Amino acid sequence: MDKNWVIPHTFRFIASDHIILLMYYVYILKSLKDEKLYIGSTNDLKRRLSEHNNGLNRSTKARRPFELRYYESYSSEYDARTREYRLKKDGKALG
Residue type, 91: G
Distances (CA, A) of 46 to 35, 42, 43, 60: 21, 10, 9, 16
Q: Which fold has domain 23-90?
A: GIY-YIG endonuclease (3.40.1440)
Structure letter (DSSP) for residue 62: G
Tens of pLDDT, residue by residue over 27-58, are: 999 999 999 999 999 999 999 999 999 999 99
CB 26 within 8 A of CB 87: yes
Tens of pLDDT, residue by residue over 59-89, are: 999 999 999 999 999 999 999 999 999 999 9
Rounded to an integer, what distance in angstroms lies between the CA atom of residue 23 and that of residue 77?
8
pTM for this model (two decimals): 0.76
Q: Return the closest-CA partner of residue 45 out of 64, 27, 22, 21.
A: 27
